[in-house]
Every structure is written in structure tokens, then in C-alpha cells.
Amino acid sequence: MSNIGIEKEETIRTSLLEQSSTDSGQTKLIELEDDHYHQQQINLAQNIWIESKKLWQIVGPAAFTRVASYSLFIITQAFVGHIGDLELAAMSIAINVVLGFDFGLMLGMASALETLCGQAYGAKKYYMLGVYLQRSWIVLLLCSLIMLPALIFATPILKLLGQPADVAELSGVVALCFVPLHFSFAIQFPLQRFLQSQLKNSVIAWVNLGALVVHVLLSWLVVYRLRLGVVGTALTLNVSWWLVVLGLFCYTVCGGCPLTWTGFSGEAFSGLWDFLKLSASSGVMLCLENWYYRILIVMTGNLKNAKIAVDALSICMSINGWEMMIPLAFFAGTGVRVANELGAGNGKGAKFATIVSVTQSILIGLVFWVLIMFFHNEVALIYTSSKVVLEAVSKLSILLAFTVLLNSVQPILSGVAVGSGWQSYVAYINLGCYYLIGLPLGVLMGWVFHQGVMGIWAGMIFGGTAVQTAILAIITMRCDWEMEAAKATQHVRKWSESRNNA
């Protein structure tokens, strides 16, 4: 019996030791898993911080640059708004409609450089950036010549579109003053993207700051001292924009970019057709969206009480455009970061850059949404002191707030498209969402349901912009990033081989 008792004791002791060993092993496993989880959290935080620094190296100066550039238009409108309601309406139409159509196409065509220069820079094919810059100048200057009649014949075109005769006449005069400004787009936009792809954003920012200071002083001098009216104020824009062109051009060709600018080259005239196709796709992609809001202003000009409605909507569009410069900076930053990562063959890096950029832009959009909702009565004071116009803007402010919120997402997803080279694909999406859904819905709400400018705008926002944003989000989430990286590597190899063969 004693032997049996001893055996039972030993069996129990062995069982307890095994259980203790198992529990200890499980505890160690749990501790290892916890350590791994914490390490992953630390690594994720570090990766977000690193990616944010890379992104804001582009977004920070780009946002300042774009805000400064757009402020040139805002300041001009603000000075003219204190001359009179007719002058404000004419300047608003000339800037937001006539020049806006031109601006949207040129900006879009220049964004082809974000794809090409971004991927080439990521692949360390620096010499190609200068060639692409020159090709872009050639294509955009040709486009400027083709679009010149839109400025020359602005008055009859605006009358044909139903604008009041006095507004159309004065807008046509202002549009003629903008001819030099029109040609500056063809030089400046490619220069900005060329420098931006190399992370030389501080140069662009400083040059634009200088132009902004000059413009404020010139506008004050022309309006309050020389009293040259709306024409003199319009002419100041030409001086300011060409100062930016001169500054960026001199920096580029005078030694600021030794790796990427090796002088003017005959190679710029080769491969122009392929370059034109990508530029046209980029231009259509962006201008379909940009023109959408210009059409909104034109449609408003056909309503009753058109001057007040146009003034109020133009002010809202100006505020929206001003805030839109931040999402457009994210558009630029995302395009460059995605293109750089894809050019380097890093699909996961491109995906991570997209997530970080979209998240941060949405947070900023929410801040502006709150500000507009709280200060809806004060947002228009910079433009006008007219009580009627101020009340009209206050009524439209809720739509302005939701437009700002939607625009904090959509441009970043478009930036992914630019970085990946999907421009033609997105152009079809924009065409369908904006012009086959949004525009008809805006007409339906505005005229059939008699909701006026609020109906037109609401229909176009929730029918066009919201649907387009949802489609782009789905496409981005379903993207095969490794395959896109492989495509980018093939493109870079193709460019290198064509250069070597030449």
C-alpha cells in the first residue's frame, strides 16, 4: 500500500510540474505576443511619423504656395468688391468662369508631370525631369494659343450663356486684361510640378510670398491712390503672376537644379504625342471637376435677381477655392509620394502613403467644416459690406461647409490616380458623375423644384461630387499596389531604354 501511495504522490507531483511548465510557457507566449503587439504599435507610430514628415515636406510649402497664388485672385476680388456690386460680379465672372475654365485645363495638363517626374525621380532617372519639363512647356503653350479666343470673345460668349448684358460687357473687358496672365499658366504650372517632384517646395513658397506682398501693395495703390478702377486692378494680376514665373525660371536654369536641368534639349520635341495624350488625360480629369463649379456660377446667372445670386455664389466659390488649396496641396503631395514609392518598386509604401494622406486631409476638412458652420454670418465680410449679399451668403453657408468636407477627400484620391497614372480612367468617372448625374440633378432641383441657387448647388454636390468620391474610394481600396509598382518599374525601364537608343 505504501508503494502505491508513493507512486500516486509522484504521479501527482509530475502532473503539477507539467501543468506549471505549461502555464509558464503560456505566460511567456502571452508576454511575447504582448511585446510583439506593443512593438507593432511603436513601429506603426514611427512609420506614420516618418511618412507624415515626407508628406508635409511637400504639403506644407505646397499649401502655402497654393493659398498665396489663389490669394492673388481673392485680394483682387476683395478690392473690386468695395468699388461696387456690378464690378464685383464682373470680376467674379471673369476670374471664376472665363479664367477658371482656362486655369482648370492648364493645371490639369501640367499635373501629368506629377506622374512622370515623380516616378522618374523615385527611380533616380534625374535627367528625364528636365526633358519632361520642356515637353510640358511646348504642349501647354500650344494649348494656350488654341484657348486664346475664349478670352478675346468673352463678352459674346457670356451673353450667349444668358449673363446680364452689363455684367457680360465688363467681364469681357476684364478678360482681355488677363491675356498675359493666361500665358503665364503655361510656364508656371510645369515649373511648379518640376520643382515639387524634387521636394524643392520651399523655393516655390518663397517666390509666391514675394509675389503676394507685391500684389497687395499694387492693388492698394491702383484702387485707393491712382483710382484706376476694375481694369487697373485686373492688370495688377499679370504683374504678380509673371513675377512668380520669372523667379522659378531663373532658379531652375541658373543652377538651382544641377541634376535635373542640363539645359534646353532637342529631345523635348521627341515623344510629344505620347506626352500630349497623358497631358490631355490629366487636363480632362481635373478640368471636368474644375469646370463643374464654373458651370454652377453660369447657371446662377440665369436666375432672377442674378447679380445678388452671382455675387453670393461667387463669394462662396472663392472661399471654397481658398480652402481647396489645402486639399490640392494634399493632391500634389499624395501624387508625388505615390509616384516616388511606385517608381522605387514599393507598392506597400504607396498604399501606406495614401492612407496617411487621406486621414490627415479629412481631419483638416472637419476643422474647416466646423468653422464655417459657426461663423456663417461673418465669412463674406472680406468681400463686401452689402447686407443683401451677406444674407445670401449666410443662407448658402451650409452647402459651402459640406462642399469643403467632401473636397477634403476627393482631391487626395485624385492625387493617387495621378501618382499611379490612371488619369484617363478617372476622366471617364468625372464625366459620368459630374455631367450625367450631378448637372441634371442640379437643373432639376433649381428650376423644376424651384429651389434656386441652393437647389442647383445641392443637386450638383450630392449628385456629382459625393458619387465621384465614393467611386474613387472603392477603386483605391481595391487597388493591387504591387502590380502598380511593377507597371511603374516597366515604365521607368522603357524611358531609360528609349534614351539610350536615342
**The pLDDT of residue 67:** 83
Residue 16 domain-assigned (yes or no): no
Burial pattern 205-228, b for ≥16 Cβ within 10 A else e, equals bebbeebbebbbebbeebbeeeee
Cα–Cα distance for residue pair 269/39, rounded to 1 Å: 53
DSSP code, position 268? G
Cα–Cα distance for residue pair 300/445, rounded to 1 Å: 12
Contact 76, 234 (CB under 8 A): yes
Residue 335 domain-assigned (yes or no): yes
Residue 155 domain-assigned (yes or no): yes
Residue 6 domain-assigned (yes or no): no
Residue 49 domain-assigned (yes or no): no
Cα–Cα distance for residue pair 126/198, rounded to 1 Å: 9
Residue 473 burial (CB < 10 Å; 0-12/13-18/19+)?
middle
Q: Which segments of the chain have a pLDDT < 70?
A: 1-42, 82, 301-307, 418-419, 421, 491-502
Residue 256 domain-assigned (yes or no): yes
Cα–Cα distance for residue pair 300/296, rounded to 1 Å: 6
Question: 3-state class of 118 per DSSP?
Answer: helix
Task: Give residue 30's identity as a one-letter amino acid code.
Answer: I
**The pLDDT of residue 105:** 81
Cα–Cα distance for residue pair 272/494, rounded to 1 Å: 16
Cα–Cα distance for residue pair 409/361, rounded to 1 Å: 7
Considering its fold, how many domains does the chain have in total?
1
**The pLDDT of residue 29:** 47
Residue 88 domain-assigned (yes or no): yes
Residue 85 domain-assigned (yes or no): yes
Cα–Cα distance for residue pair 406/383, rounded to 1 Å: 24
**The pLDDT of residue 311:** 76
Cα–Cα distance for residue pair 33/261, rounded to 1 Å: 52
DSSP code, position 225? I
**Residue 365 belongs to what domain range?**
60-501
Closest alpha carbon to 93 in 259, 243, 310, 358: 310
> Which H helix or E strand runs over 129?
helix 127-152
* Residue carrying C-alpha cell 518598386: 345
Cα–Cα distance for residue pair 188/224, rounded to 1 Å: 30
Distance from the Cα of residue 277 to its chain's centroid: 21
**The pLDDT of residue 367:** 93
